[in-house]
């Protein structure tokens, strides 16, 4: 039972990282300026690497090899939040998603650094520096672009509005919330969401951006239970295209 | 519309004959000179430039362009416009410096005198 | 045509030095002859500046355009290790473009002007990137053999006379050694893998061999102009010498894997100690470099798209009070 709970936690985190890392990697070579292209690629690489580390933990808990699990499932077997599978859109949306997700990711790993499940706590401590940089990058871009010109402000506000309900879907609760908290493994999605709101609010203020009114909040749920938008299946097919050329081969 | 081998490109729906306005001056922002310190105790070394619109982003970019491999302790960025330099054509100002032996440890050789003195004492 | 000095065989050499101060020219040439580097604000002949800008700019374009054929496979790279490595490799190529544009900027041409010349098709870039990467194996062949060719060229140019270009190339060459190993590892995995994988890599090699033979450009015509550029250490090795060096280093490695090269005449000539090969189709080379290749139009259209999509980002953060200052080094 406890293992099931840990697996559920690991799967959603690993899938989140895999899918956002994959989406962000699509910008490689096509970014808004050379220097940012390089920076964004580094962070996408980090995400994929973190995802791999979590699939490795799953493997140690009896799941298949990381490559097999990550690259050979169908969309209806993925546990990522729907937010992360949405197409990149323009750089405004990509940056806003990067900001909203990476803050949540950083806080989640921060909470897990003291988890009673030591293998995960170890990963969390290891990625601390990477995440610090990701959030520094995201905060800088969001505050600068939010408050720069009329055009950039409108674009970033629109991106925030479009992202918001999807971002709330990051904190969709699972069946093991209580148990994970009691065992000291993970404090829970509600606690994470609270911290997340407290963390992003001052940054968005500084960026002169406004969080949509609470009355309009309707979290896009389902991702954690493998319900996805039409965008995920083509993504996973693309991801596995080469593998499928010869599934028996080592690539 | 371009049907590319790269699915990322196909999704963009671009025409082969797309045209855009030329980039205007400063489109890529100003430049910062980047200085990289490998480990504490080392000097910062000039490693190149980044184009950036402000110092914070120059640091972000400097980190990834010049610090994404190996080890790094610290990075500085300085706006190119704020760096003052000597001219290479004035390199002759430095020409006689290596000859100024009176300011070098190697310019002082006492052993000859000491040995000569000792020899004379013995005799 | 990677970072290779382009010499117009029709240009008359005596015009090149016209109007140059003979004393300064002598000092400049003596400095190069002593093995010293030229730095950005040094006096330099107009032709030296012109050829260097052209060469470094083309090299930079080759890096950013070169990110596209391999980028084709970024979303499809098989497995964690391959995916992260390919991302890192393509990221490096973007980084190389950044370093090379920076070096060219020190000679007085802005990055915006270079980009503009690229996207309207005025500037050239390495011809090989006008060919498509049909399969994953094509991306592997590129990473191994095109990067191998680039390294030969870049190692030679790193001993050239212009300080900022040499410094950029030193940094680039370190990263290229990862590209080469990465590419080789990929090709070896396919060549020693399943029959499907072997077939895939053989087909990719067959496709890429003609562009690879084109890579260093046609034999140089000996001219006064090319002699001057050699003396100025702008052009560091002849195209044929670099091609021979490449064949020497890589043909045996390719044959080791039991792969077949589509040239029945390719062999090491025991007398000359040089490689004999079927003369590459230089008409095809010219056709492609002048825009007629399978991917020329797409490559430039993609760069225009990327520049345009990023424009609002750059514009928003533009500091109107700033003036452009030529970077130092
Ligand atoms: Fe490169
Ligand atoms: Fe390379």
Query: What is the reported pLDDT for C220?
Result: 87
Residues of A whose CB is below 8 A from B63 = 39, 133
Mean pLDDT of chain A: 97
Look at residue A52 and tell me whether its pLDDT is greater than 60: yes
Query: What is the reported pLDDT for C7?
Result: 61
Nearest CA in chain C to A66: C80
The share of chain A scoring above pLDDT 70, in percent, equals 100
| Overall average pLDDT of the B13-24 stretch | 96
> Using CB atoms, which chains have 3+ pairs under 8 A with C?
A, B
Burial B16-33 (b: 16+ CB within 10 A, else e): eeeeeeebeebbbbbbbb
Residues of C whose CB is below 8 A from B6 = 68, 71-72
Let me know: does C37 contact C232? Beta carbons within 8 Å: no
Q: What is the CATH number of the domain that holds C189?
A: 1.20.1260.10
A119-164 pLDDT, tens digit each: 999 999 999 999 999 999 999 999 999 999 999 999 999 999 999 9
Identity of the residue in A32, A152, A251 whose CB atom sits nearest the CB atom of C189: A251
Kindly state whether C129 is in contact with chain A, defined as any CB-CB distance less than 8 angstroms: no
Please tell me the number of the ligand nearest to residue C182's CA.
Answer: 2
Domain that holds residue B110: 29-85+94-122
Residue C206 lies in a domain: yes
- In total, the C-beta contacts within 8 angstroms joining chain B to chain C are 128
The share of chain C scoring above pLDDT 90, in percent, equals 90
C261-296 pLDDT, tens digit each: 999 999 999 999 999 999 999 999 999 999 999 999
| Overall average pLDDT of the C116-127 stretch | 96
For chain B, helix (H) and strand (E) counts, in that order, are 3, 3
| Residue C105 host element (H or E) | helix C80-105
Look at residue C29 and tell me whether its pLDDT is greater than 80: yes
Kindly state whether A242 is in contact with chain B, defined as any CB-CB distance less than 8 angstroms: no
| Overall average pLDDT of the B41-45 stretch | 98
Residues of B whose CB is below 8 A from A26 = 8
Give the residue carrying structure tokens 């090899």.
A65
Higher pLDDT pick, C220 / C272: C272
C58-106 pLDDT, tens digit each: 999 999 999 999 999 999 999 999 999 999 999 999 999 999 999 999 9
Residues of B whose CB is below 8 A from C111 = 28, 51
Q: What is the CATH number of the domain that holds B109?
A: 3.10.20.520
| CA C90–ligand 1 middle distance (angstroms) | 8
Residues of A whose CB is below 8 A from B14 = none
A154-191 pLDDT, tens digit each: 999 999 999 999 999 999 999 999 999 999 999 999 99
Look at residue C223 and tell me whether its pLDDT is greater than 90: no
* C-alpha span between B62 and A34 (Å, rounded): 12
Residue C229 lies in a domain: yes
Kindly state whether A142 is in contact with chain C, defined as any CB-CB distance less than 8 angstroms: no
Residues of B whose CB is below 8 A from C76 = 7
Identity of the residue in A26, A87, A140 whose CB atom sits nearest the CB atom of B60: A140
- In total, the C-beta contacts within 8 angstroms joining chain A to chain B are 37
Q: Which of A18-22, A69-73, C193-197, C220-224 has the lowest mean pLDDT?
A: C220-224
C133-176 pLDDT, tens digit each: 999 999 999 999 999 999 999 999 999 999 999 999 999 999 99
C3: pLDDT confidence band, cut at 50, 70 and 90? low
Residue B114 lies in a domain: yes
C9: pLDDT confidence band, cut at 50, 70 and 90? low
Residue B24 lies in a domain: no
Query: What is the reported pLDDT for C1?
Result: 47
Let me know: does C289 contact C1? Beta carbons within 8 Å: yes
C157 backbone dihedrals φ, ψ, rounded to 5°: -65, -25
Nearest CA in chain A to B53: A144
**Overall domain count for chain B:** 1
Identity of the residue in B17, B23, B46 whose CB atom sits nearest the CB atom of C116: B23
CA distance, residue B119 to nearest chain C CA (Å): 47
Give me the sign of the Cα torsion angle C182, C185, C187, C193.
Answer: negative
Kindly state whether A37 is in contact with chain B, defined as any CB-CB distance less than 8 angstroms: no
* C-alpha span between C297 and C302 (Å, rounded): 9
Residues of A whose CB is below 8 A from B65 = 35, 38
Residue B60 lies in a domain: yes
Query: What is the reported pLDDT for C12?
Result: 63
Let me know: does A251 contact C82? Beta carbons within 8 Å: yes
Kindly state whether A29 is in contact with chain C, defined as any CB-CB distance less than 8 angstroms: yes
Nearest to C6 by CA among C205, C223, C194, C188: C223
C254: pLDDT confidence band, cut at 50, 70 and 90? very high
Nearest CA in chain A to C194: A249
Of chain A residues 49-78, which have a CB less than 8 A from chain B? none
| CA A46–ligand 2 middle distance (angstroms) | 21
Query: What is the reported pLDDT for C325?
Result: 92
Please judge whether A144 and B51 are an interchain contact, meaning their C-beta atoms are less than 8 angstroms apart. Answer: no
Nearest to C57 by CA among C132, C151, C126, C10: C126
Determine the CATH number of domain A2-245.
Answer: 1.20.1260.10
Kindly state whether A243 is in contact with chain C, defined as any CB-CB distance less than 8 angstroms: yes
The share of chain C scoring above pLDDT 70, in percent, equals 96
Please judge whether C329 and B33 are an interchain contact, meaning their C-beta atoms are less than 8 angstroms apart. Answer: yes
Half-sphere exposure of B90 (CA within 13 A, CB side): 4
Torsion of CA B92, B94, B95, B101, to 10 degrees: 160
- Within a 10 A sphere around the Cβ of A163, how many other Cβ atoms? 21
**Overall domain count for chain C:** 1
Please judge whether C110 and B25 are an interchain contact, meaning their C-beta atoms are less than 8 angstroms apart. Answer: yes
Please judge whether B20 and C308 are an interchain contact, meaning their C-beta atoms are less than 8 angstroms apart. Answer: yes
| CA C205–ligand 1 middle distance (angstroms) | 20
**First and final C-alpha spacing in chain B:** 102
Domain that holds residue C175: 38-307
Query: What is the reported pLDDT for C13?
Result: 61
| CA C125–ligand 1 middle distance (angstroms) | 13
Identity of the residue in B8, B51, B54 whose CB atom sits nearest the CB atom of A35: B51
Mean pLDDT of chain C: 94
Kindly state whether A43 is in contact with chain C, defined as any CB-CB distance less than 8 angstroms: no
């Amino acid at each position: 039972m406890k293992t099931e709970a840990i697996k559920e936690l690991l799967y959603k985190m690993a899938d989140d990282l895999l899918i956002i890392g994959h989406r962000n990697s699509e910008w490689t070579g096509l970014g808004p300026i050379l220097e940012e292209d390089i920076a964004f690629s580094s962070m996408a690489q980090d995400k994929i690497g973190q995802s791999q580390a979590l699939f490795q933990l799953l493997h140690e808990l009896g799941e298949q090899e990381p490559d097999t699990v990550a690259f050979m499932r169908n969309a209806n077997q993925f546990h990522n939040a729907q937010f992360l599978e949405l197409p990149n859109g323009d750089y405004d949306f990509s940056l806003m998603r990067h900001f909203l997700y990476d803050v949540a990711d950083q806080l989640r790993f921060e909470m897990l650094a003291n988890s009673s499940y030591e293998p995960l706590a170890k990963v969390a401590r290891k990625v601390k520096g990477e995440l610090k940089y990701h959030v520094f990058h995201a905060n800088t871009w969001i505050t600068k672009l939010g408050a720069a010109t009329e055009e950039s402000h409108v674009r970033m506000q629109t991106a925030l509005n479009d992202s918001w309900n999807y971002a709330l879907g990051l904190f969709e609760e699972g069946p093991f919330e209580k148990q994970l908290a009691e065992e000291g493994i993970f404090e829970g999605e509600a606690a994470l969401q609270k911290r997340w709101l407290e963390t992003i609010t001052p940054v968005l203020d500084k960026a002169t951006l406004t969080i949509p009114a609470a009355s309009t909040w309707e979290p896009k749920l389902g991702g954690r239970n493998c319900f996805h938008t039409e965008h995920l299946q083509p993504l996973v097919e693309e991801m596995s295209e080469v593998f499928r050329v010869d599934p028996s081969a080592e690539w | 519309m371009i049907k590319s081998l790269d699915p990322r490109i196909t999704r963009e729906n671009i025409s082969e004959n797309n045209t855009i306005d030329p980039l205007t001056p400063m489109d890529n922002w100003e430049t910062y000179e980047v200085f990289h310190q490998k480990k504490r105790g080392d000097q910062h070394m000039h490693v190149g430039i980044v184009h950036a619109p402000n110092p914070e982003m120059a640091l972000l970019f400097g980190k990834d362009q010049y610090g994404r491999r190996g080890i790094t302790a610290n990075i500085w960025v300085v706006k190119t416009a704020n760096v003052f330099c000597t001219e290479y054509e004035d390199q002759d100002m430095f020409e006689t410096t290596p000859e100024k032996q009176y300011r070098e440890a190697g310019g002082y050789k006492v052993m000859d005198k000491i040995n000569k003195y000792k020899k004379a004492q013995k005799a | 045509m990677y970072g290779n000095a382009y010499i117009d065989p029709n240009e008359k050499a005596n015009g090149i030095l016209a109007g140059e101060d003979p004393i300064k020219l002598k000092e400049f040439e003596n400095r190069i002859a002593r093995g010293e580097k030229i730095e950005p604000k040094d006096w330099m002949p107009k032709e030296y500046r012109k050829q260097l800008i052209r060469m470094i700019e083309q090299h930079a374009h080759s890096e950013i355009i070169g990110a596209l054929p391999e980028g084709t496979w970024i979303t499809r790279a098989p497995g964690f290790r391959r995916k992260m490595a390919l991302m890192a490799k393509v990221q490096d190529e973007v980084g190389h473009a950044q370093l090379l544009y920076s070096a060219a900027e020190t000679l007085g041409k802005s990055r915006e002007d270079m980009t503009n010349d690229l996207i309207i098709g005025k500037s050239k870039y390495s011809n090989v990137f006008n060919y498509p990467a049909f399969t994953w194996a094509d991306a592997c062949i590129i990473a191994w053999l095109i990067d191998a060719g680039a390294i030969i060229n870049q190692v030679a140019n790193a001993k050239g006379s212009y300080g900022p270009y040499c410094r950029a190339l030193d940094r680039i060459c370190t990263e290229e050694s990862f590209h080469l190993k990465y590419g080789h590892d990929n090709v070896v995995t396919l060549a020693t893998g399943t029959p499907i994988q072997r077939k895939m890599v053989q087909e990719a090699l067959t496709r890429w061999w003609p562009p690879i033979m084109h890579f260093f450009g046609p034999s140089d015509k000996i001219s006064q102009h090319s002699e001057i550029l050699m003396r100025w250490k702008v052009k560091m090795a002849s195209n044929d010498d670099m091609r021979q060096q490449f064949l020497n280093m890589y043909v045996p490695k390719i044959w080791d894997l039991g792969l077949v090269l589509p040239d029945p005449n390719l062999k090491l000539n025991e007398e000359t100690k040089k490689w004999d090969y079927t003369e590459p189709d230089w008409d095809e080379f010219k056709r492609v470099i002048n825009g007629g290749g399978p991917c020329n139009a797409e490559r430039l259209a993609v760069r225009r798209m990327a520049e345009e999509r990023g424009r609002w980002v750059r514009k928003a953060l533009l500091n109107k009070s700033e003036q452009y200052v030529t970077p130092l080094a």
